[in-house]
Amino acid sequence: MAANAGPCRVTESVVGRWTRAVTLDNDLVRVTVLADKGADIYELRYKPKDVDVLWKAPWGLKELGALGATAADSLVAWMDHYEGGWQELLPSGGGPCVYKGVELGFHGEVSTAPWDYEILEREGDRVAVRFTVTTTRTPFRLERVMRLAAGEPLLLLEERLTNEGAEPMDFMWGHHPAYGPPFLSGACVLDLPRARFIAHTGQIYPERSWLPDGGAWDWPLVTGKDGQQHDLSRIPGPESQVNNLGYAVDLAEGWYGLTNTELGLGIGLVWPKEVFSCIWVWQELNSSLGYPWYGRAYVMGLEPWTSYPGSGLVEALAAGTARCLEPGESLEGELRAVFYESQRGIRRIAPDGRVELK
């Protein structure tokens, strides 16, 4: 990079044997995107503390095409290639279902497809890269422009989803960031706006969950299966061996902040709640046995979504939470991921990414 080019840059590389990766840097943040693996955000690093907040699966990255197509079960096939990090999911979330005569596999299509990309601004005081993908079993086109600017601890995602078909199309659309060590620990606290919390009906591992089978409470206190109150804003440590799944709904605003009070570091997301109306709260805290976890995964997902429950598009339609686009119609929204330094947490994240600390 030239001496006067500015603090921001985009670099291209190959991860593994053939997976194209794109890295966006400024003076505070480094973001690495696996273009050929769902445009997954694989690294989200705060440079002043040299901490990558995203979880890395202990089994590592299994590149698309590296495994024989032996998994008839779409959940197994998805997990075969789940490397951690941050996925974008469309047009379905959670379990497989049949919609308009075709199976939509576990977590939909776009996270297991290669995306095209174009570097819009390569270096200087700001950088930008556009990623695009079109689906196969549905007629959607999804575009994501990712931006960094000098001196800002903030990643901007500008998103546009379009129905390119000639008939109305229902969908679920979500972001699946998964946080892990060293950032995730028992010292973490989760701040949300005013919301209700709904427990998933049919916990994935009910014997390891605090939550009953369904139920709703005002965030963050829930009544567990043991009859005691549990504060979901306090994140259990790796010794807890707990697995919980539920949904923060009726959000007063679209944001959250996850703060490690020992590291003095937090990561927050902010988005328009008119687009992503709920948050899936997924805790896999060294609890699940069997494939692929085998009791070795300490990870928590905090996922902005259009829809719930996490049981596939047909279930979201039944629940009245699925969205629909008419032929040629688009839906747009911006997400901002912002780092902040705090040992107490936050009060709010403004739509422009400004963080109000406690």
Judge if the upstream peptide bond of residue 236 is cis by omega within 30 degrees of 0: no
Q: What are phi and psi of 111, to 5 degrees?
A: -80, -5
**What are the structural domains, with CATH classification, of the chain?**
10-357 (2.70.98.10)
Q: Are strands 330-340 and 154-163 parallel, antiparallel or unpaired?
A: antiparallel
- List Cα–Cα distances, 121 to 86, 128, 149, 242, 346, in angstroms: 23, 5, 11, 44, 32
Q: What's the pLDDT at 4?
A: 54
Please give the Cα distance from 209 to 234 (Å, whole number). 15
Query: How many Cβ atoms from other residues are within 10 Å of residue 12's Cβ?
Result: 13
Please give the Cα distance from 38 to 144 (Å, whole number). 12
Residue 205, helix vs strand vs coil: coil
Q: What's the pLDDT at 282?
A: 96
Q: What average pLDDT values come out for the chain (358 residues) when binned by 10 residues?
A: 73 94 98 97 98 96 73 82 94 96 95 96 98 98 98 98 98 98 98 97 87 94 93 96 96 98 98 98 94 94 97 97 98 98 97 97
Cβ distance 269 to 335 under 8 Å? yes
Q: What's the pLDDT at 71?
A: 64
Q: Which amino acid is at 82?
A: Y
* Global confidence as pTM: 0.96
Cβ distance 17 to 36 under 8 Å? no
Q: What's the pLDDT at 1?
A: 42
Please give the Cα distance from 354 to 347 (Å, whole number). 11
